[in-house]
Amino acid sequence: MTLTEDRSATAPNEARRAMISSQLRTSGVNEPWVLTAMASVAREDFVPADWKDAAYIDRAVPLGEGRFLAAPLFYGAALTEADPTQAKKILLVGDANGYYAALLRTLVAEFDTITPAQALEAGQGGYDLILVDGAAEELPEALVARLDDEGRVVTGEILRGVSRLAVGVKTAGHLALLPVHEQGIPAVPEFAAPKRWSF
């Protein structure tokens, strides 16, 4: 193996370590189980070939067809807030073969996955934790209906054009989201708010 080949083989591992030390830890993501999960999943395996060298940048990476892989901080902070190991029945809204799903598989034995389009339709309920891979202007009522009372949601939220990580608990059939902190999170197009008249 040449020196060039050796460096190319170790570069992703070095980038992953740098992600943990310079993006996650410095932003308050310090739970050992979160850092272990993010250290074990090769983020470069979930981006297009021409983005592999930039898989660990602190911004979203385009996946094509209007989809994005959020910055590492989103996943680290979302997992910290969600603590999926404490949930009984988990639903991920996103790609079943994507990065978020791969992270979850390192933490829990079982969870369900639906696409954002499927989240617009009525479906199976009984979940005590719902995770959304991206930011919503408005969570669909059909998705909230899948959540048990006292169940939790961890999602990106877009309010007046600003995205932030938000968590919510469903109480008496109603879900109220509370912001955790602002950060750039790619929008989920299916969860855009309906256009309303303004004067």
Rounded Cα distance, 191 and 113, in Å: 16
Domain assignment present for residue 196? The answer is no
Q: Is the pLDDT of residue 136 over 90?
A: yes
The type of residue at 41 is V
| Cβ–Cβ under 8 Å, residues 179 and 166 | yes
pLDDT tens-place string over residues 98-119: 999 999 999 999 999 999 999 9
The whole-number average pLDDT for the span 7-15 is 70
Give the closest residue to 115 by CA, choosing from 59, 193, 189.
189
What CATH code is carried by the domain that includes residue 127? 3.40.50.150
Look at residue 83 and tell me if it is in a domain. yes
- Split into its structural domains, the chain has a count of 1
Residue 7: predicted pLDDT: 39
Of residues 198 and 10, which shows the higher confidence score? 10
Is the pLDDT reported for residue 144 higher than 90? Answer: yes
User: What average pLDDT score do residues 17-35 get?
Assistant: 95
Phi, psi angles (nearest 5°) of residue 57: -65, 160
Mean of all residue pLDDT scores within the chain: 92
Does 105 map to a domain? Answer: yes
Taking the mean position of all CA atoms in its chain, how far away is CA 155? 7
Residue 98 lies in a domain: yes
Asked, for residue 74, whether it belongs to a domain, the answer is yes
Over residues 108-137, mean pLDDT: 97
pLDDT of 66 reads 87
Q: What is the mean pLDDT of residues 90-95?
A: 98
Query: In the predicted model, what is the mean pLDDT of residues 27-40?
Result: 96
Which domain range does residue 53 map to? 3-191
The DSSP line for the chain is --HHHHHHHHHHHHHHHHIIIIIIGGGT---HHHHHHHHHS-GGGGS-GGGGGGTTSSS-EEEETTEEEPPHHHHHHHHHHH-GGG-SSEEEES-TTSHHHHHHHTT-S--EEE-HHHHTS-----EEEEEEEEEESS--HHHHTTEEEEEEEEEEEEETTEEEEEEEEEETTEEEEEEEEE----B-GGGPPPP----
197 within domain boundaries: no
* Residue 18 burial by Cβ neighbours in a 10 Å radius (0-12, 13-18, 19+): exposed
Residue 199 falls inside a structural domain: no
Segment 48-83, tens digit of pLDDT: 999 999 999 999 999 998 899 999 999 999 999 999
Distance CA 27, CA 121 (A): 36
Query: What pLDDT does residue 193 have?
Result: 87
Is the pLDDT at 9 greater than 80? The verdict is no
pLDDT digits (tens, 9 = 90+) for 168-190: 999 999 999 999 999 999 999 99
Confidence at residue 196, expressed as pLDDT on a 0 to 100 scale: 63
Residue at 50: amino acid letter? D
Question: 198: pLDDT confidence band, cut at 50, 70 and 90?
Answer: low
Note whether residue 198 is domain-resident.
no
- Residue 169 and residue 151 in contact, taking contact as beta carbons nearer than 8 Å: yes
pTM: 0.91
The label of the residue with tokens 């189980």 reads 33
Q: Which residues, including other chains, have CB under 8 Å from residue 196's CB and lie 6 or more apart? A: none
